[in-house]
């Protein structure tokens, strides 16, 4: 019998597979199914910073995006903050795996006070999904980076549960960012979020959303950085995210050094029960390779463990170009 248990961001997980924050994790019934299918933890659908600010009367409406403000107000009404606290309590009552609450945020304003209520409601950890488009040509990029650190500092003053930061993939020096987050008390990072991205309809000139769900090929985005950060930054656990659609995808991320692996799109496509297949494939691989526990192979292929670590830094296809010409 292989042992799938891992420690992630101070939490004991019975398996490294975590269902990531999304509509899949917004109902207690589905969370029960997710737990029965073998998930190690569940990250609840995110609450927006704006929802919290709105409820405490801080949300600005005349910010130049009236449609966005109207949308957020409607969203806030339907998904009120008190409903979210109830979701945390109900999920905690319903399952015996860790329940991680989640907030989409970009500032370190008053909303951060609310994180204490999430802890009171029973959340085992808090995942902060931090993002903003850095597109102000007059703003020093360092100000944008500082915003991430301010958020962690502020939230760490309000809660005692582990704080995990979910990042996008575009940083000038992700190793620096990860180290700074760790110094400020983050227990883990999720590499990476996959955000909504716009697309253009060339027939009717309307804007829409580009592919909402990921493909397995997208694992390439996080594998490099899981491999590098896991060997460069101590005391910061990693949950790999984006493009993990099968057990072997999870194996690769663990070999690269991830403590946990998050899945989302594959479950939207196949249903949450599909998690069983992913876990079975992970177990089969371990049996075939005669590993009894995850720790026996975690990080075996990370940046500092392989013979030629430069492979993690290689960005040009020189060899392949020369063959193709």
Q: Which residues of this chain interact with ligand FMN, rule CB under 6 A? A: 20-23, 45-46, 102, 104, 129, 166, 193-194, 212-214, 241-244, 263-265, 268
Please report the sign of the dihedral spanned by the C-alpha atoms of residue 278, residue 34, residue 293, residue 224.
Answer: positive
- Closer residue to ligand FMN (CB): 134 or 213: 213
- Phi and psi for 35 in degrees, rounded to 5? -65, -45
Minimum distance from residue 265 beta carbon to ligand FMN (Å): 3
Dist. CA 40–CA 44, nearest whole Å? 13
- Phi and psi for 34 in degrees, rounded to 5? -60, -45
- Closer residue to ligand FMN (CB): 52 or 231: 52
Nearest to 14 by CA among 29, 35, 32: 35
Minimum distance from residue 221 beta carbon to ligand FMN (Å): 9
Tokens coding 25: 């994790």
Minimum distance from residue 319 beta carbon to ligand FMN (Å): 29
Nearest to 19 by CA among 3, 49, 4, 41: 41
- Closer residue to ligand FMN (CB): 111 or 291: 111
Cα angle for residues 24, 95, 195 (degrees, 5° grid)? 25
Q: Which residue has the tokens 């019975």?
A: 14
Q: Check: CB of residue 46 under 8 Å from CB of residue 73.
A: no
| CB atoms near residue 80 (< 10 Å) | 15
Minimum distance from residue 180 beta carbon to ligand FMN (Å): 21
Minimum distance from residue 239 beta carbon to ligand FMN (Å): 10
- Closer residue to ligand FMN (CB): 22 or 230: 22
- Closer residue to ligand FMN (CB): 231 or 241: 241
- Closer residue to ligand FMN (CB): 20 or 51: 20
- Closer residue to ligand FMN (CB): 240 or 291: 240
CB burial class (10 A; 0-12, 13-18, 19+) of residue 18? buried
Minimum distance from residue 171 beta carbon to ligand FMN (Å): 16
List Cβ neighbours of 232 (8 Å cut-off, separation of 6 or more). Answer: 175, 178, 179, 303
Minimum distance from residue 211 beta carbon to ligand FMN (Å): 10
């Amino acid at each position: 019998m292989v042992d799938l248990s891992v420690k992630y961001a101070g939490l004991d997980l019975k398996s490294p597979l975590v269902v990531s924050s999304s509509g899949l994790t917004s109902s207690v019934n589905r969370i029960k199914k997710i737990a029965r299918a073998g998930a190690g933890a569940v990250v609840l659908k995110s609450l927006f910073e704006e929802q919290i600010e709105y409820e405490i009367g801080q949300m600005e409406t005349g910010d130049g995006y009236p449609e966005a403000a109207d949308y957020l107000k409607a969203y806030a009404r339907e998904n009120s903050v008190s409903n979210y606290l109830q979701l945390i309590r109900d999920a905690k009552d319903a399952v015996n795996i860790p329940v991680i609450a989640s907030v989409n945020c970009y500032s370190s304003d008053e909303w951060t006070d609310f994180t204490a209520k999430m802890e009171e409601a029973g959340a085992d950890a808090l995942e902060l999904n931090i993002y903003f488009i850095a597109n102000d040509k007059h703003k020093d990029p360092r100000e944008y980076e500082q915003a991430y650190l301010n958020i962690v500092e502020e939230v760490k003053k309000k809660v005692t549960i582990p704080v995990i930061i979910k990042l996008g993939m575009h940083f000038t020096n992700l190793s620096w960012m990860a180290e700074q987050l760790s110094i400020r008390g983050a227990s883990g990072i999720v590499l990476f979020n996959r955000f909504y991205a716009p697309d253009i309809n060339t027939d009717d000139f309307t804007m829409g959303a580009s592919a909402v769900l990921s493909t397995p090929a997208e694992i390439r985005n996080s594998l490099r950085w899981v491999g590098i950060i896991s060997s460069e930054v101590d005391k910061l656990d990693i949950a790999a995210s984006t493009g993990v659609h099968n057990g072997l995808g999870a194996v690769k991320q663990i070999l690269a050094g991830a403590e946990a692996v998050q899945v989302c799109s594959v479950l939207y496509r196949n249903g949450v029960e599909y998690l069983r297949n992913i876990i079975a494939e992970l177990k089969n691989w371990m049996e075939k390779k005669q590993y009894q526990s995850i720790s026996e192979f975690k990080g075996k292929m990370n940046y500092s463990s392989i013979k030629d670590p430069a492979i993690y830094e290689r960005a040009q296809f020189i060899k392949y170009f020369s063959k193709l010409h």
